[in-house]
Amino acid sequence: MAQIVGCVNTSHVPSIGKALAHGLQQDPYWSPFFDGFPPIHRWLEEVKPDVAVVFYNDHGLNFFLDKMPTFAIGAGQQYVNGDEGWGQPDYPPFAGDEELSWQLINHLVDHDFDMTICQDMMVDHAFALPLKLLFPGQPACPIATVPISLNTVLYPFPSARRCAMLGRNVGDAIRAWDSDKRVLIVGTGGLSHQLEGERAGHLNPEFDRKFMDSLLNEDPSWIEQFSSEDIIEAVGTAGLEIIMWVAARNALRGPVREVHRNYHIPISNTAAGTQALAPA
Amino acid sequence: MKREIPGTYILSGKNARQGYALNRMCFSFNDAANREAFTRDQKSYCERYGLTEAQTRAILDRDLIGLQRLGGNIYYLGKYAGLLGLDVQDWGAMQTGMSKAEFTAMLFASAA
């Protein structure tokens, strides 16, 4: 059966793409963020994943308001990072793993998660940049991928509780997959930030840290007591992206250990967090 | 939304209905040819997408808060703001009434 090697959650601010393109990893502004990755790179070299399941939120690229799925999953041969309004990134396409996509789709729908199934979907910076951060220095992502997009654009949003359930079911589907593949779970977004309104610039390191701590518990359900409104109030509108972290963490079962954690304010307008977890 | 959060603009049903044409126009900026067409003649481009007069005025005035009050959402307005050459600290400054330096300083101060 397939094995989940662990999960990595990280922020996905667009300007990280610019920093990567210009080689600013050691720039004083950027290094407190990029320095969070080498320990995770060493761990990934040890656990050698073959494929990544990536929970992220689409920022008005593949999905518009004409059709907005709460949960969508890719079932493509490959995924292209399209033009999000500031030019076409020059990343090569990300390879898909259609067998895993359909394993997940069949299991999820069978367990009452009515996913929107996308045989063709574009991915955006929220999918691409974390993979760039995890596998630097190579033009193409060296492992296959399955994107799962969660709606954080059009209210009402899926609750943290529901995203945790989705994550648990994704984990079960992988563990039930008749394959010798090693699977990495990735959650992207957050931590606290808000770009819009008079409250733009809102950050909440206390809540962010409490949240990261809670994911270390064998029972990581602390966040599930909060509604979407509660989470937005605490960590900002875009901070709601922590639901990707919730889904990713819940794919792991049993006790976990923290491989590495990094937290830095600010990257752009965002409290940038990175946390890698492995089965204990 | 079950409750309002001051200074925060969520794309709830009410805003989504009011802002559909505006958000659809901003979504079109994913295409480089559309970005050029908008830049050439902003007013005509707004008309083509059926924006209201107030929405068109707010686009021409770069009134980010006004656009959000008229149903625009940041996920789409971000493409418009990017097209104007504004980064997210510029947006922050414009919406909070701070200078860009003050806004950026506030972010750094939040780390403490």
Q: Would the pLDDT of A34 be above 90?
A: yes
Alpha carbon A86 to chain centroid, angstroms: 22
Does A125 qualify as catalytic in the annotation? Answer: yes
Domain locations in chain A as residue ranges: 3-279
Between chain A and chain B, the number of residue pairs with CB atoms below 8 A apart is 126
What DSSP character marks residue A209? H
Percentage of residues in chain A having pLDDT higher than 70: 100
Burial class (CB in 10 A: 0-12, 13-18, 19+), B40: exposed
Residue A223: the pLDDT is: 98
How far is residue A237's CA from residue A232's CA, in Å, rounded to a whole number?
Answer: 5
Quick one: angle between helices A125-134 and A38-47, nearest 10? 80
Q: Do B74 and A237 touch (CB under 8 A)?
A: yes
Alpha carbon A24 to chain centroid, angstroms: 23
Spatial contact of B105 and A233, defined as CB atoms under 8 Å apart: no
Query: Is residue B92 within 8 angstroms of chain A, CB to CB?
Result: yes
How far is residue B5's CA from residue B88's CA, in Å, rounded to a whole number?
Answer: 21
Residue A170: the pLDDT is: 98
Query: Is residue B83 within 8 angstroms of chain A, CB to CB?
Result: yes
How far is residue A189's CA from residue A191's CA, in Å, rounded to a whole number?
Answer: 6
Instruction: Output Rg (C-alpha) for chain A, integer angstroms.
Output: 17
Query: Is residue B52 within 8 angstroms of chain A, CB to CB?
Result: no
Does A193 qualify as catalytic in the annotation? Answer: yes
Using the Cα atoms of residue A27, residue A30, residue A31 and residue A37 in order, give the sign of their dihedral: negative
Rounded to whole angstroms, what are the CA distances from B31 to A16, A85, A93, A110? Answer: 22, 7, 19, 38
A107 contact partners, CB below 8 Å, separation of at least 6:
A169, A172, A173, A176
| CATH code, residues A3-279 | 3.40.830.10
A31 contact partners, CB below 8 Å, separation of at least 6:
A25
Residue with tokens 């991928």: A145
**Which H or E run contains A245?**
helix A242-250
Taking only the tens place, the pLDDT of each residue in B69-91 is 999 999 999 999 999 999 999 99
Give the ipTM.
0.96
CA atoms within 13 A on the CB side of A42: 6
- Choose the catalytic residue: A107, A125, A202, A260: A125
Q: Which residue of A has its CA nearest to B92?
A: A200
CA atoms within 13 A on the CB side of A31: 3
Reading the block at residue A216, the tokens are 């270390």
**Starting from the edge strand earliest in sequence, which strands make up the sheet with A256-267, in order?**
A116-118, A71-74, A144-150, A51-56, A182-188, A3-10, A270-279, A256-267
Residue B2: the pLDDT is: 87
Domains of chain B, each with CATH number or no CATH: 13-85 (1.10.700.10)
Closest CA to A35 of A44, A25, A43: A25
Taking only the tens place, the pLDDT of each residue in A114-170 is 999 999 999 999 999 999 999 998 889 999 999 999 999 999 999 999 999 999 999
Reading the block at residue A233, the tokens are 């109030």
Residue A79: the pLDDT is: 98
Residues of A within an 8 Å Cβ radius of B:
15, 59-61, 64-65, 82-88, 153-156, 194-201, 203, 205, 227, 229, 232-233, 237, 264-266, 268-269, 271
Nearest CB partner across the interface for A197, out of B31, B68, B78: B68
Percentage of residues in chain A having pLDDT higher than 90: 98
A-chain residues within 8 Å CB-CB of B3?
A: 229
A90 — pLDDT class (breaks 50, 70, 90):
confident
Residue B112: the pLDDT is: 73
Reading the block at residue A26, the tokens are 């050691």
- Choose the catalytic residue: A193, A202, A260, A264: A193
CA atoms within 13 A on the CB side of A46: 10
Taking only the tens place, the pLDDT of each residue in A239-275 is 999 999 999 999 999 999 999 999 999 999 999 999 9
Taking only the tens place, the pLDDT of each residue in B38-65 is 999 999 999 999 999 999 999 999 999 9
How far is residue A184's CA from residue A107's CA, in Å, rounded to a whole number?
Answer: 18
The per-residue pLDDT of chain A, averaged, comes to 97
Reading the block at residue A21, the tokens are 């393109």
Q: Do A233 and B5 touch (CB under 8 A)?
A: yes
A-chain residues within 8 Å CB-CB of B24?
A: 64-65
